[in-house]
Amino acid sequence: MNINLFKNSLWRTVKKVANLNFAIFILLCIASFSIIGSVIEQEQSLEYYKINYPFQSSSIGLNWRIIISLGLDHIYDTWWFLLIILIFSGSIVICTFSSQLPGLKNARRWKFLNFNSNIGKTVHSSRLNYNSLSNMIYALNYKNYYVFHKKLSLYAYKGLLGRISPIFVHVSIIITLIGFVFSILGSFTVQEMIPIGESIHLKNIIKSGLYSKLPNHILCKVDSFFITYNANNSIKQFFSDISILNTSGHTWIRKMIQVNSPLRFNSLTFYQTDWNINALRISINIEHIIQQPLQKIKIGNQFMWIGTLSLNSQQSLIFLIFNLKDPILIYDEFGQNIEALDINNNLVIHNNSFNIQGILVSTGLQIKVDPGIRLIYFGFLIIMISTVFSYISYCQIWVNMNSNVLDINGSVNRGMLHFEEDLSIIQIKYQNYTSYNNIKF
C-alpha cells in the first residue's frame, strides 16, 4: 500500500513538473532573474555596491547588504539560480519523453483508420462519388503527400518536420541549458596588464567556476604593441603581437590580435581589451638610465599621462604624453613648456643631457575559458532552425472506400486555410482523373 501511495504521489509530482503552465512559470522566473542581473551590475567589488546601493538613498528597499546576502551580485552562479535551471531542465526532459516522443509514435499508429474511427481533431470530412483508390493516390501525390495503401484504405501526410520540430525545440533547450551549466561551473576569466616584452603566467582571476582549472603550463608573452589613429587623433585600433609559450620557452602559437579578433589556443581565448603607458626610459648624461613612472589622468574626455622628474630640491621636469605618435611635451617646474621631444632626440637642460629612449607600454588582455559556449551556440542554432520548421503545417488525410464512394477525413495542426485549399485541389484532380479513366474498384 505504501509503495503504491509513493508511486502515485511521485507520478502526480512528475505530471505537475511536466505541465506546460509550470514550465512557463519557471521560464518566467529565469527571465525575471536575468533582468535583475542585467539591471544590477554583476561581479563588482563590495565597495562598488556600498557606493551605488547605500542604505540612505534606497527608495525601493534594495541596498548593498540585501544584494550581497541574496547573491544578486553574481546571480548566474548562485545555488538557487542553478536549482531553477535544473528544475526547468527536468520539466523539459519529462515533457519530451512523456508527451512529445509518444505523440510522434502515435502519429505513425494513426495511419489507417476507418470512417467511424475517432481521428481526433478532424477539420475536414467529405464523401466523393466513384471509388478509385489509384486515382486518389495520383491526386494526393500531385500535392506532394506521402501515401500509404492498405486494403481499402489510404493514409497520406506531408509536413512531418512541422510535427517533429517541437521535439527538437525541447532538445535544443536542454542542450542550451546543459551548456549554460557547464559555463557556470567550468569557466573562468583572467585579466592581465602585460608590459611589452614580458612573459607572465595567468594569475589575475576575475571570475571562476566551481570546477574551473587555471592552466599553469603556459606563458603569455607580448612581443609588440602599436596603435593606429584616425585623422582627428582618436584611436582607430590597437594591436598586440602575442605569443603562447610552454614553460621551456617554446612558442606554440603567435598572432597579432586586435579588438574583435582574438587569439584562440586550445580552450583559451585571448582578447585585446585595453592598453596603458607605464613609464619613460630616460638616459641622463649618457651614464644613467632611469625609468620615470607616469600616471594616467583624465581631463574632460581626454586621457593623458604625466610624470615629474626631480633634478634637485628646486628644479624638476614634467613629462606629458597624449598618445604614442605625437612628441612628448616637457615642462619646467613653473609649468612653462620647454620642448616637444621625439623618441631618441637629445635635450640639454641645466647642463644635463636628456634622451628619451622609449615609452614603456603595457597591453591589457582578457583570457577566457568557457566549456559550455559551443553547446549554447549549438542549442540556439537548433532552436532557430526548429522554430522555423515548426511553422510547417503537418497535414494528414485518411481515405476509406465504402461501396461506390470514398470517405475522406483530414486533420492539420495549423494553417487550416491552406489545408482546405489542398483538399479542394486534390478532389478536383481526383474527379478529373476519374472522369478520364472511369475506373471503378
Domains of the chain with bracketed CATH: 2-100 (no CATH), 110-159+393-437 (3.30.310.80), 185-276+364-383 (no CATH), 277-361 (no CATH)
Q: Is the distance from CB of 95 to CB of 18 less than 8 angstroms? A: yes
Please report which confidence band the pLDDT of residue 286 belongs to, taking 50, 70 and 90 as the band edges. Answer: confident
- Among 318-332, 348-362, 427-441, which stretch is predicted with the lowest mean pLDDT? 427-441
Half-sphere CA count of 388, side-chain side, radius 13 A: 5
Residues 6 or more apart in contact with residue 46 via CB below 8 angstroms: 64, 68
- Decide: 51 and 41 in contact? Cβ < 8 Å: no
Top pLDDT among 418 and 14 is at 418
CB 359 within 8 A of CB 277: yes
Q: Compute the Cα dihedral for 293, 299, 304, 308 and give only its sign.
A: negative
Phi, psi of 235 (to 5 degrees): -75, 125
Model confidence, pTM: 0.70
CA distances from 390 to 143, 159, 325, 378 (A): 20, 10, 57, 18
Kindly tell me if the per-residue pLDDT of 124 is higher than 80. no
* Residue with cell string 546543459: 178
Q: Which amino acid is present at 211?
A: Y
Residue 417's alpha-carbon distances to 124, 276, 322, 395, 413, in angstroms, are 11, 65, 69, 12, 11
Q: What pLDDT sits at residue 312?
A: 81
| pLDDT-above-70 percentage for the chain | 88
Q: 304, 320 in Cβ contact below 8 A?
A: yes
Instruction: Calculate the average pLDDT of the chain.
Output: 84
Residue type, 209: G
| Cell numbers at 441, concatenated | 474498384
List C-alpha distances in Å: 365 to 209, 222, 249, 258, 267.
20, 10, 20, 10, 16
Beta-strand ranges (E) seen in 19-158 are 122-129, 146-150, 153-158
For residue 72, the SS3 value is: coil
- Cell digits of residue 155: 493514409
d(C-alpha 326, C-alpha 360), whole Å: 15
Residue 243, pLDDT score: 93
Phi then psi for 2, rounded to 5 degrees?
-65, -35
Cell, residue 52: 551605488
Point out which residues pair with 247 in neighbouring strands.
none
Give the per-residue pLDDT at 114. 57
Least confident of 15-29, 241-255, 347-361, 379-393: 15-29
Q: How confident is the model at residue 269 (pLDDT cuts 50, 70, 90)?
A: very high
Mean pLDDT of 303-318: 87
pLDDT at 281: 92
Give 441's pLDDT tier (boundaries 50, 70, 90): very low
Of 88, 73, 85, give the one whose Cα is nearest residue 37: 73
Average pLDDT on 246-250 reads: 85
Helix (H) or strand (E) holding 89: helix 79-95
